Structure 1
Amino acid sequence: MHDEDGYFGEKVAAGYDESAADMFRPEAVDPAVDLLVGLAGDGRALELGIGTGRIALPLARRGIPVHGIDMSRAMVAQLRAKPGGDTVGVTIGDFATTRVEGTFAVAYLVFNTINNLTTQDAQVACFQNAAAHLRPGGCFVIEVGVPELRRLPPGQNAVPFRISPTQWAFDIYDVATQAMSSNYVTIVDGRAKHEYYPFRYVWPSELDLMARLAGLRLRDRWEDWDRAPFTSESRRHVSVWEKPAD
């Protein structure tokens, strides 16, 4: 899995859309695009971790100019092969630090992608990078899960999230460092194959502090893109931070 594209090389990119098929369904995509269209207004949108264009392409079809940053050339090649893929600009690089020209009305990170930055320093840098790209009054949007530590009894560090006759998938948490990993054990032709993806989980309050360090302020937080209220039982959140207009 380790190559110039990190954990999202040719093999993962080729099957990514199929493996995340539920996230490509209209009921998952349309509310996100609707919200981003509203925030973009007459401006441009910047997607950090654009991947295969799940959100960027329908956003561009709604008339919003979209630019993306992504480290994986293989994922971007999948985007380019899709209808309209040539209309979205992409810069290859680390979305925590890579700068592109111009300013944007909205920058966004979806589907837990902030957790792909595996250190607090990188996550802080990402907020600073997003803020530097925003025009005054612009917004930074993140969709990410709430860490499921309530499901960990004392002495346990793993939370299963997929169990089938041919695959076992579980997250492993280190509560001392906020390091976590998603692990997949898949049976192929009678043999077990293990895949491992490292992340760093982050709390909503910690994200708010990162935003404040970057000169942003929390504007809205919901449970999902349909803007359901965020509560203590919510398993994820969509948060919007705003760059002051002055």
Structure 2
Amino acid sequence: MDDQDGYFGERVAAAYDESSADMFDPSVVETTVGFLAGLAGGGRALELGIGTGRIALPLARHGVPVRGIDLSRAMVARLRAKPGGDAIGVTIGDFATTRVDGTFSVAYLLFNTIMNLTTQAAQVACFRNAAAHLEPGGCFVIEVMIPELRKLPAGQNVVPFHVSPTRWAFDVYDVATQATSSNYVEVVDGRGEYRSIPFRYVWPSELDLMAQLAGLRLRERWEGWTREPFTSESGRHVSVWERPAD
């Protein structure tokens, strides 16, 4: 792992688009881009954790000027190598604290990336950073999973999410601290490899309080990008907080 890129160094970046293929499905990308373009309303967009440009590139092709922040130079290099990637300004840094010039109609943080910030303080700082970039009336959007604690029997802290003859993947939860990790064991040419990435899970109500601390207020919350109702059975949510126009 390249330390300057955190947990998303060259090895992860090289395979990221393929390993996240479901999220690159055109129908997923199109509905996400349409949702965000509607919020941008002709203004600029800021992506926190821009990565390889899964959403930034099609959003820019949709006519929305996009800027990005990302800690991983390896991920951003993949963005740069794609058509149109050189036209998107990206600042290398921690998206919880890194500032870029200007204000934006919409800032967004997708695909569970808020959980890459592994302390509550860092997640609160992220909300404040996003709010500082928004123009009055602008919106901050987060897409994130609901913690799968209902899958845990008493005394168990592991939830498997992939099992095959050569690959095992599982999440480990600490319900006392909200610390979690995604863990991967893979057998290649008869040799086992193990990788673990730490996260901090966060509840919708906790995110609403973080937004309030940053001077934002909840505008809407859905299960997904096509605005399905968010219920107690939802496995994720798309939430939109806005900076008051006054």
- Runs of 5+ consecutive residues of structure 2 not aligned to the other structure: none
> TM-score, structure 2 length as denominator?
0.99
1:38-187 counterparts in 2 under 5 A?
Answer: 38-187=38-187
Deviations 1:186-222 (A, max 9, x none): 0111121101000000000000000000000000000
Deviation at 1:22, TM superposition (A): 1.1
Q: CA RMSD in A?
A: 0.6
Alignment-derived partner of residue 239 in structure 1: 239
Alignment-derived partner of residue 222 in structure 2: 222
- Runs of 5+ consecutive residues of structure 1 not aligned to the other structure: none
Alignment-derived partner of residue 5 in structure 1: 5
Alignment-derived partner of residue 211 in structure 2: 211
Q: Which ranges of 4 or more aligned residues in structure 1 deviate by more than 3 Å?
A: none
Task: Judge conservation of contact 2:48–2:70 (CA < 8 Å) in 1.
Answer: yes
Deviation at 1:86, TM superposition (A): 1.0
Q: Given residue 40 of structure 2, which amino acid in structure 1 is its aligned partner?
A: A
Counterparts of 2:203 and 2:22, CA distance in 1: 25
Deviations 1:136-158 (A, max 9, x none): 00000000000000000110000
Counterparts of 1:192 and 1:63, CA distance in 2: 46
Percentage identity across aligned positions? 78
Deviation at 1:2, TM superposition (A): 5.0
| 3-state SS of paired residue (1:53) | coil
Counterparts of 1:187 and 1:212, CA distance in 2: 46
Task: Judge conservation of contact 2:2–2:10 (CA < 8 Å) in 1.
Answer: no
Counterparts of 2:225 and 2:190, CA distance in 1: 40
Alignment-derived partner of residue 16 in structure 1: 16
Task: Judge conservation of contact 2:73–2:92 (CA < 8 Å) in 1.
Answer: yes
Counterparts of 2:189 and 2:26, CA distance in 1: 34
Deviations 1:76-126 (A, max 9, x none): 000000000011110000000000000000000000000000000000000
Alignment-derived partner of residue 27 in structure 1: 27
Counterparts of 2:111 and 2:49, CA distance in 1: 10
| 3-state SS of paired residue (2:90) | strand
Counterparts of 2:209 and 2:123, CA distance in 1: 11
Q: Given residue 221 of structure 2, which amino acid in structure 1 is its aligned partner?
A: R
Counterparts of 2:155 and 2:28, CA distance in 1: 36
| 3-state SS of paired residue (1:4) | helix
Deviation at 1:28, TM superposition (A): 1.1
| 3-state SS of paired residue (2:208) | helix
Task: Judge conservation of contact 2:68–2:88 (CA < 8 Å) in 1.
Answer: yes
Counterparts of 1:182 and 1:202, CA distance in 2: 15
Deviations 1:61-85 (A, max 9, x none): 0000000000000000000000000
Task: Judge conservation of contact 2:6–2:72 (CA < 8 Å) in 1.
Answer: yes
